[in-house]
Amino acid sequence: MTGYTLYNIGNPSDARYSPKLPGHCKPSKYMPELPEVETVVRTLCPLLVGKRISGVRLERSDILTPTGTDLAGHLLLRTVADISRRGKRIVITLDDGNRFYVHLGMTGRLTFETCDRPIEKHTHLILEVREKEVESAVPFQVRFRDPRRFGGVWWLGRDLSPDDGMGPEPLSLRVSRLKRQLATTGRSIKTALLDQTLIAGLGNIYVDESLFAARIHPLVPANRLTDLQIATLNRAIKGILRKAINHRGSTLRDYRDANGESGGFQLRHKVYDRAGKPCRLCKGEIQRIILGGRSTHYCPNCQAEI
């Protein structure tokens, strides 16, 4: 049985596939915004859909909401029918119609691995999956690991919806809807775009990049944008997200997705994490300010104040 190469789970010569040695485990910085979550969903989909869940290990019960849900009872011997994304949520649908979602928070990872790989610290949930119809099929594991535990697993069942509390999806957002959403608040456009109830999926990186692409200053009140600015912003958000997804997300340091591949969009960041560096358009100096408690990067020259 050649399960390793069959499922293309990564290059065995990659450091990730060697046993971890003390001091040899490099730190990784994971950036789970919409493009990274989309990349995880796309890589997991062909590996997981159609497989049967043959084992469930919840190492930390407090990452599960509602606490005390009988996850093993619900998942064991069920088949994964679908994996999709809603905002930053990874939604998994079972063959009996029950659903749950995983949120990666700041440091969460959802990976597909062989069972013999060492289990890293802060691994909170392990699902063992096998090919459905094959007798004695090689088992694999889906592991949820999250050092800071801002992420977790939410059980939805058949009645709750992953749309709950989520604004519209930016990739299919009409200008009229964006205008209606932004009209509801006088907060800065930067803060408004981070609000998942107004628009789903954007995080600190892609808000900064989108505002730069639209040449809008982050401090402009959301409800004071002109119609032209809103139309430009809508196009900018879609363009930035599409490009980031095409590059499999943004990787700083040595992040790899579930297939062992890194993202590449960080090389195309125009403002994020570039404070003090020259603007790629005008050569002016990229500024960094704190807005809503988060670092915010922009070019004062390209992004005019109001």
Partner DNA sequence: GTCCATGTTCTTTA
Partner DNA sequence: CTAAAGAACATGGA
Instruction: Yes or no: say if 35 and 250 are a contact pair by the CB < 8 Å rule.
Output: yes
| Contact assessment for residue 178 and residue 199, using Cβ atoms and an 8 Å cutoff | yes
- 209: which residues sit within 8 A by CB, 6+ positions away? 240, 269, 270, 271, 272
Residue closer to DNA by CB (options 122, 130) is: 122
Cβ 104 to DNA shortest distance, Å: 7
Distance CA 44, CA 51 (A): 11
Strand pairing partners for 221? 188
CB 87 within 8 A of CB 101: no
| CB nearer DNA, residue 138 or residue 173 | 173
Query: Measured from the CB of residue 53, what is the shortest distance to DNA in angstroms?
Result: 26
Q: Closer to DNA at the Cβ: 191 or 210? A: 191
Contacts to DNA by CB under 7 A: 27, 29-33, 87-88, 103, 105-107, 121-122, 147-150, 165, 185-188, 191, 194, 196, 202-205, 253, 292-295
The least distance separating DNA from the CB of residue 288, rounded to whole angstroms, comes to: 7
Which residues touch 297 (CB under 8 Å, ≥6 apart)? 208, 212, 271, 272, 273, 274, 275, 286, 287, 288
Give the active site residues. Answer: 32-33, 88, 294
Nearer to DNA, 141 or 191 (CB): 191
CB of 213 to DNA, least distance (A): 17
Omega before residue 66 within 30° of 0, cis: yes
